[in-house]
Amino acid sequence: MEKVSEAEVVSVKEKSDGGNVNSDNNKYEEVNVDRKFDFSTFFNGNWKYLVVFIFGIVLTIFTFSCFGGFSDKTAKTLVEVNDNGISAGINKVYDSTVYIENYKDKKVSVSGTGFIYKKDSGKAYILTNYHVVGSSSSLKVILSDDNSVDARFVGGDEYLDIAVISISDKYVKNVVKLGSSNKAVLGDTVFTVGSPVGDEYRGTVTRGILSGKDRLVAVSVSGGTDDYVMKLLQTDAAMNPGNSGGPLCNINGEVIGMNSLKLVKNEVEGMGFAIPIEDILAHLDTFEKGDSIKRPYLGISMVNLNNKDAVSYYGLSKKINTKLDKGVVVENVQKGTSADGKLEVGDIVTKVNRKEVVNMAYFRYELFKHEVGDKVTLTVERKGRLMDIIIALREKWYLLSFFLIFFGVLILLVWEILIGKYWKIYIYYLFL
């Protein structure tokens, strides 16, 4: 039997339905058909439908990809985790961050930020930078709810750039939680709350990462040449004038540092620095009591070795003969101080307890690690020869007290000799 296609079978059926087939019973003869699928015939008749079908599938996939139809649930989850995490941390510290105004002659001379870390006995204690408040007695604090209250300087230190001030706790509800910078790692998310460029932008939040730890940054305390070194945290969270004293927080809203300064250069962006919270806590009890840090005093004047103009100006060029390019040159030694009889004019100090001294800033940094009464070893080049000199450290006021007592006794002694009475006063003063 001749094989026919499926199309031909259909044609046959259509003719048989018409009744024109040669059969007594008006029925068509059933045809045996080989039903093997013919692709060429199918495509010739249905290619348009196939193209539309494929185009529809492609369009569907493209639409879902563009509008997140396949990953909508995942995307929402990621956003919620990140945003809620940082927002929750901000909420923990925001109300405890304050704006500080330092007044001079009834005008705001300096402004900055601070954060409330403690409430005790009707007082709320605020941490901020020393360069924001100094030792001023005319301070105003504006809280997050816009209440303005008088503040009092409690204690601080200009070299550490740390200060504590206090206000009434009447309007204070929350205090910050102090965390740990030691546990923080590079790349951690951090944020800060502050008042850049004044009251208008009070409560500004900026976000970044922890960019560095243990950065040694030379700073100016006296307002002139860099004269001290601070060990700081580095972050790219935006900082501007007015952010000084504000909290640097981890993603949980725990304070890990206090903003202090930023690197300002035309070609530099995103280099802000904060004092580690551990360095603050080490001196917090002292500042809360109103006491100052007792620092050692050598009793010398010095200039940087690499400052050729200063070396020449003080007439030190003739006293030194060295190939060194780092260190400090002794310009003067005060009588009766720790350095008297130990150091000489023209000595080049290169190390303090084996730690290299680059300049005066690093010299003070290494010296101030020690306390009054400690002994330090100074590595000194004198007339081309290196030597180690051990010096016992004293407090600066030790010398002043000595001279006050000495001249006080001398005056009373002269008074007694000339006038001949008041010897009882002299005896009392001598044993006071």
Active site residues: 131, 161, 244
Residues near 9 by Cβ (< 8 Å), separated by ≥ 6? 31, 33
Cα(244)–Cα(75) distance, integer angstroms: 37
* Cβ 330 vs Cβ 346: under 8 Å: yes
Alpha carbons 147 and 164: distance in angstroms, whole number:
20
- 14: tokens are 């259509």
Pick from 107, 169, 100: nearest CA to 128: 100
* Distance in Å from the first CA to the final CA of the chain: 141
Cα separation, 148 vs 397, in Å, equals: 39
